[in-house]
Chains A and B, each alone.
Chain A
Amino acid sequence: MTATRGSVRHQVRLALPPDEVWELVGAPERVHEWFSGIESCTVDGDQRVVVTRSGLPMPEHLLTVDATLWRLQYRITAPMFREHLGTIDVLDLEDGTSLVVYSTDAEPAALALVIGGAARAALANLATVMGLGGPAT
């Protein structure tokens, strides 16, 4: 693998309108409620620190929390990342359902896969946490 920067995207469709999904996904301080493997988080202004199940603290910089666009963006600023951008978009499918898209861009590339893989599991968990039996079909 010669790529130094990795880009990964996962999505889930939920049988809920976007404003209801955004209520949880757009709240930076509630990420541990739906992102499996994040045990806790603290938010201070635009700084967030999540602690993973392995006990690893990950400092983050919140870049965008846009309740109109339903977009949340953040950077992990831990030293192991040369660059990171996480983007969560909630899209209105205009049929009472939503599409949640979680994009992870990172250098080193390997970390994009690690964070992106966890984000995929988090999206799958989101349906359960929001009281749905599973993703919408």
Chain B
Amino acid sequence: MGRKILFVTTDQQRYDTLGCNGGTLARTPVVDGLAAQGIRFERAHPQSVVCMPSRSTILTGQHPTTHGVWMNGVPLPLDAPSVADVLHEAGYRTALVGKAHFEPFLDPFLRFPENALSGTGTEPPGGLHRGFEHLELATHGGIGPLHYAQWLAAEHPEALGGFYPVLDGSLQVNGAGGGDTGAPQVKVNPIERGIYHTDWVADRTIAWLDSLGADEDWFCWMSFPDPHHPWDPPESEVARVDWREVPLPAGYPEDRSERETIIDGKPRHWRLWYDGTLVSNYEAPASWVPATLTPDQVREVNARNAVECELIDEALGRVLGRIDERGWSDEVDVVFTTDHGEFQGDFGLLFKGPYHVDALMRLPLVWRPAPSASATPSVVTRPVGLVDLAPTFCTIAGLEPPPWMQGGSLPTDDADADLRGFERVLTEWDSDIFGTSVHLRTITRDHWVCSTYLPGTSHDGTEGELYDLADDPLQRHNRWDDPAHRPVRDDLVADLWSSQPPSRLDQLVLESPV
């Protein structure tokens, strides 16, 4: 019998939403407790700041350039390598419960297995899908072909209309406002807490764990759709955090002229989006102009986000409780993270896009090794990436990570990180949709974040961003064009390009907007 793995992801959660990372809005005692017993990472970055490429990196252990999912809407090939396959072949029982999103959501033809699966059950035809023998899938609401939506429609049809419609009538990300402040993607949702997707994911995880024999090894990816927008948690829970009492985030300059001066120091697509002139990616509502965002809207979004984070923490607590009841506690590794971050008011923005700053790139990551491993609690400050998760799971299982994985098993402390060369982490963005393209490559090393832009709709290929996290943690001052910083910029750019992973030979095709 080996170590079992509970892998917990959320969707679009910021680093600073956890108490253990200094967050003060949401109470997250369960994850904080795991961090106290295990390893907390202070500089964990995704390799892409949108869902499909990032989740594909988690599964394959490869950078987007290599696995080929270069933007949302590009399906991960069915024969792509998968850490779940590796674990299954080693005898692990494998499940994915919650949000997968390796394949596009908008799929009226049910071409993609994730979307077709609920029609046949929870076990994929052929026995495995991407290495998982059991999949019960959900996303952000009650519409669509996934298991949660089908279950809700069958058992609680009255609850369907309570969710915020993620897309509008034009199938664009919805910009309509709600709540008390009219903030976009906010809605009062009268759904009962017990049937909201957060608790459903925990319930279905527990049900799968209950189906296993006591001596079986297992890898369970429990994937919560929240706190990704829409911010429509159960109405009964909203009073947990009174938005009127929420302080404005440090990253939100309340003074408009200060805000706009900061944005004007960045490549021009920042200001174009802020003004509503060019929405360069599908993930932000085309009909919403960030410049209209009010301080109270920032407060309300942050309050609702905090409520969703609390519900996730409590749901995780229930699952850990069941694991304890099964007598597995000493043998279970728990890894908690997310796929990417969220602006949540930073720079006067919401949502995400081609903007490589901490709001989107600095992620919560906690690894509580199985107590039987007797690991020493620690904090890792060196940069790591989601690309390092797959090899970590292999190591936990006592397996050598296969050569196609590009990361390394997560370090257990800074000394281990230094010994094994955790010096830099890479993040990339490519989007090309209906004539608008953006391409950037980013390196985070030492205390610097350096992004370089390739030619695109708004860029000629000379633009960049350079931030010194040591003296500018909010990334307000772009040093790219500062002559005094030219040597460090040149060094980082050279390192960035010499560290690029190999590219997939054929470019995969965009088959849906998301």
Contact = CB atoms under 8 A, between A and B. Distances in A.
Interface of A: 1-4, 6-7, 10, 36-38, 52-54, 56, 58, 80, 82, 107-111, 113-114, 116-118, 120-121
Given A2-B279, A54-B107, 14 more contacts: A1-B172, A1-B280, A1-B286, A80-B169, A110-B170, A110-B172, A113-B511, A114-B108, A117-B111, A117-B509, A117-B511, A117-B512, A120-B511, A121-B511
A53 B116 CA distance: 9
Contact of B110 (A3, A6, A52): A52
A6 B512 CA distance: 12
Interface in B404-439: 433-436
A118 to B, nearest CB: 5
Nearest to B75: A117
Contacts of B286: 1-2
21 contacts: A1-B172, A1-B280, A1-B286, A1-B433, A1-B436, A2-B286, A38-B109, A53-B111, A107-B170, A108-B169, A108-B171, A109-B170, A110-B167, A113-B433, A113-B510, A113-B511, A114-B106, A114-B108, A117-B104, A117-B111, A117-B509
A82 B170 CA distance: 9
Interface residues of B, number: 31
Contacts of A56: 108
B53 interface: no
B493 interface: no
Interface string B91-111: 000000000000010111111
Interface in B245-291: 278-282, 286
B96 to A, nearest CB: 21
Given A1-B281, A3-B434, A113-B73, A52 B108 contact: yes
Interface of B: 73, 104, 106-111, 115-116, 145, 167, 169-172, 278-282, 286, 433-436, 509-513
A61 B336 CA distance: 51
B115 to A, nearest CB: 8
B interface majority secondary structure? loop
Contacts of B513: 1, 109-110, 113-114
A85 to B, nearest CB: 16
Contacts of B169: 80, 108
A113 B512 contact: yes
A36 B112 CA distance: 11
Given A1-B279, A4-B170, A110-B171, A37 B434 contact: no
Given A4-B170, A113-B510, A53 B73 contact: no
B73 A120 contact: no
Given A113-B73, A120-B509, A36 B111 contact: yes
Contact of A108 (B170, B433, B509): B170
B511 A37 contact: no
A111 B436 CA distance: 17
A52 B436 contact: no
B238 to A, nearest CB: 31
A36 B510 CA distance: 17
Contacts of B115: 54
Nearest to A109: B434
A68 B436 CA distance: 37
A80 B106 CA distance: 13
B171 A111 contact: yes
A121 B434 contact: no
Contact of A37 (B73, B110, B167, B172): B110
A4 B513 CA distance: 13
A49 to B, nearest CB: 14
Contact of A3 (B145, B281, B435): B435
Contacts of B116: 53
Contacts of B509: 10, 117, 120
Contacts of A37: 108-111
B166 to A, nearest CB: 12
Given A113-B510, A113-B513, A117-B511, A1 B110 contact: no
